[in-house]
Amino acid sequence: MSTRLYLYPVAIRVWHMVNALMFLLLIVTGLSLQYSSKDLEIVGFNLAITLHNIGGITLTASYLIFIIGGIVSGNMKHYKIKYKGFWNRLYKQGRFYIYGIFKHEDTPFPTSENMKFNPLQQFSYVLALFIGLPIVILTGWAYLFPEIVILKIFNLSGLLVNDLVHITIGFILSIFMFIHIYLCTIGPSVKNTFKSMITGWHE
Ligand code: HEM
């Protein structure tokens, strides 16, 4: 018998949709700016700058709403890692993804209203949302206002360091997104989890 849980209220679904669309826009325009040349332009240079700025500003606004909304609504509790037995839980979930799942074992951490994420989901979301995203957002804003960037860091240009951090973390977050989408295909059916993020109901 399958259980239905209402895990993703409208506000989370809207935030997630905006977040995912802005990520895609930022990846395409970011790559276009990174590899711009006269011979090959994915998006025209000036248009890529405008769209990248719009994407970054929208992502920042939706991030702030997600954090404040999460604190007020209680959604943040799902992102609180319990350190006791943490590595063991992570191992159990990792083992399930690379072995147990193919042996049709039961999931070690079934979804519930109190625990909507398994340990690996929780860990990767915390890294992406509370470490990666703030760094990309802050270094992005530093580009918009270069006069606030420290001029020299260890004898290197502050703008260069800002640039390297922005593109490296942006790249890691892009990889996170692809792994995240792949892991969302694991479930009763390939479409199941994606449907949950549209209807709000987890099966
Ligand atoms: C096209 C891109 C994306 C797709 C198709 C997608 C898909 C999904 C799906 C199906 C879920 C529900 C399953 C779950 O709870 O794990 C989900 C949840 C989530 N996704 Fe994504 N995602 C995308 C991009 C992103 C990005 C870029 C981030 C963050 C940087 C992100 C962060 C999250 C978080 C934090 C949740 C849990 C939300 C909550 O319930 O509090 N996703 N995603």
DSSP for 131-173? IIHHHHHHHHHHHHSGGGS-SEETTEEHHHHHHHHHHHHHHHH
How far away, in angstroms, is 10 Cα from ligand 1 center? 14
How far away, in angstroms, is 70 Cα from ligand 1 center? 15
How far away, in angstroms, is 140 Cα from ligand 1 center? 22
Taking a C-beta distance cutoff of 8 angstroms, is the pair 144, 53 a contact?
yes
How far away, in angstroms, is 38 Cα from ligand 1 center? 36
The domains of the chain, with CATH numbers, are: 5-202 (1.20.950.20)
Distances (CA, A) of 103 to 40, 62, 94, 98: 47, 40, 14, 10
> What's the mean per-residue pLDDT of the chain?
93
Q: Quick one: pLDDT at residue 2?
A: 66
Q: How many CB atoms lie within 10 A of CB 99?
A: 10
How far away, in angstroms, is 12 Cα from ligand 1 center? 10
Residues contacting residue 61 through CB under 8 Å, at least 6 positions apart: none
Residue of minimum CA distance from atom 4 in ligand 1 = 181
Q: Quick one: pLDDT at residue 58?
A: 98
pTM of the model: 0.91
Which range of 152-156, 171-175, 184-188 scores highest in mean pLDDT? It is: 171-175
pLDDT at 104 over 80: yes
pLDDT at 163 over 80: yes
Q: Which residues, judged by CB distance below 6 Å to any ligand atom, belong to the binding site of ligand 1?
A: 8, 12, 16, 19-20, 23-24, 75, 78, 116, 121, 125, 128-129, 133, 173, 177, 180-181, 184, 193-194, 196-197
Q: Quick one: pLDDT at residue 127?
A: 98
Return d(Cα 66, Cα 70) in angstroms, integer.
6
